[in-house]
Structure 1
Amino acid sequence: MLSSYWESIRTGFFAFVGVGALVLLPLVALHYYRFGRVEPRRALVLYGLLAYGLVALALIFLPFPARSQVCQGEQMLSTTPFQWVTDVRNNLAATGRSGLPAVVTSSAFVQQAFNVALFVPLGVVLRKSYGRGPLTVVAIGFALSLAVEVVQYTGNFGVYPCPYRISDVDDLISNTGGALLGWVLAPAALVVPAVPPSADSAAPAGTVTVPRRVVGLMADLLVLLVISRLVLPEEPGWFLAAAVALRVALPSLTGGRTAGGWLLRYQVRRADGAWANPARIAVRELFGVTGFLAYAVLVSPALGTWGDLAVVALVLLGAFAVPVFRRDQRGWHERISGTRAVSTAIAEPGPGGPAQGGEPLQRRSTAREPQPDRR
């Protein structure tokens, strides 16, 4: 029995690995559409629920038997509550064993224990991540268990002419009890995060998302390639000079905008929203894309493949991957230089004033200030 359980768990986990890869990009797109970033706790809970659901389905429905092995005349519906207690006694009588060790190792007891454990994670997540109460957890656990029993009794909605798993009222009791047990144990589940409310999940108004900056970067690189091919001599030094001019000198003169920034309507500002001086922009580019281009032209030919892979991984993780999960969407090059990208679609800040784009917009009070009595 245990070997069949582990085989089903392994099948469900491998299914999660495959399905998880397929839903990764849609999940990222959904989070960006709703929150302007990928909220890590929400993503962790969603992926955990996906893994749990696939493993649970594998345990419930696998292995699928051949159609010739069903409809053998067995009773596939049990409506007697706590029939498993009688089954445990029958197991002990058949094997001539007694005592607590014999009870907990009997097949009937192990099956009910698995039915309870199967729904414990559901109760943990519903309380710890979503803050649901015991009655809601019991209702959800009962409804899901009832749905499973209906599917089993109908032969997977007619896929099989007869059910191949027994629909048992004890399963309803055990699954619902497991969900309630998970609710009780939830405070001890330290690795399960609480899902934050939408207001705490969303990026502040005016935050420039990573995909938006990537498109702007691609526009800058396209301009750089056109200039280097059509105007400049084909020498690495001129290419780097053009990159510095486009990514450092131009933003310093235009209030933090590059060609891509003009196209995507964002600019580089200081972390507090004020004007970013040329030194900050230069540091930002040294640890960002321009520094990576300098590495590729000057340093990479002297290093091996592993050095290149390490630098590429560092840049991709620090500048693009990790910021996806941050509220401010800032990469490591921006945190080092004390800068951030600010949307110009919300506000057009002057050279000396703070930008409005990176912080939540404050509502103005409609109430008029009290005026002094002039009578």
Structure 2
Amino acid sequence: MKLQFKHQKFQAEAAKAVCDVFAGQPYLTPSYRMDKGYVKNDQITLYDKERFTGFGNSQLVPELTDDVILENINRVQRSNQIEPSRQLEGRYNLTVEMETGVGKTYTYIKTMYELNKRYGWSKFIVVVPSVAIREGVYKSFQITEEHFAEEYGKKIRYFIYNSAQLTEIDRFASDSAINVMIINSQAFNARGKDARRIYMKLDEFRSRRPIDILAKTNPIMIIDEPQSVEGKVTKERLKEFNPLFTLRYSATHKKDSVYNMVYRMDAMEAYNKRLVKKIAVKGISVTGTTATEGYAYLESINLSKGNPTATIEFDVKGVNRVRKARRIVSEGYNLFPNSGELAEYKDGYTVLRIDGRDSSIEFTNGIKLFAGDV
């Protein structure tokens, strides 16, 4: 079944906020000669010459001085009702605050497409705090692939960094399309042998260091949940990637690590933008207290530091009659046993997904209920 994604205005606004910081940058797609490394007898074929043509993100043009960038940031901040920064906090660090459950990964994928569309930038590295989050981000790229391809007419090439599959890094550098490498911070910041390989000259990589090939592309770094990634050592390690600039996405940034915030979607903003509201679910009707047709009322979607929850009302079998009960539920909640095993909830009424992006609940039986007005 093809997944449908609703275009949310706030996601476009967040992408625009990042892009507008670099207003004045022309559309450029520079190429360069990649380091081919050591080749026996220096025998290079025509295929190798093409293979070792690299494509990187263009540097900012000289006209975009620090003063101009700061002016652009302040303009974006004022338009989004954020206190203007007094100075640049790094060259360049931009913060996006986005509440859990409203489509953070979707938003930064859209931002990649918009940066490519406006400026030609095509190399991105997404840094995540754990293997579990890494797999979740990879899944998001998979399920949104066709959606974004229809909107922008092109696909992103994405992969998970693996120190044993270094040919992917050559492809990352030599491909002119949008390329994304997803990496968990332990893969370059731990003490183990595998983590050190990214900094080592490797025989199987033509005596080159993987970090040097990546750094030559001037990648745009996207830090997912920076409060869980950026320790003192990690911040220094990130500099070795030679980022063009860094974007930080989280709902819970550390107070001392909010750099030039350009967009904010906190819990109150999510409510004000109608991502969180009292709603009645379409498709399940109220027919008295016999529960012969089933009943459910989605009161609200609750966004907090953790995973989103939903407040729902449904029928529960009592001693003498069926009554209505109100519960705060998470994904995995099964209406059937919690209703006293009412038959109306028997077939697949376990909450599979709670989605703040389109205000919906999806059950394991495949039914996705969209919010209606009260």
TM-score with structure 1 setting the length: 0.25
- Greater radius of gyration (CA): 1
User: More strand by proportion, 1 or 2?
Assistant: 2
User: More helix by proportion, 1 or 2?
Assistant: 1
TM-score with structure 2 setting the length: 0.25
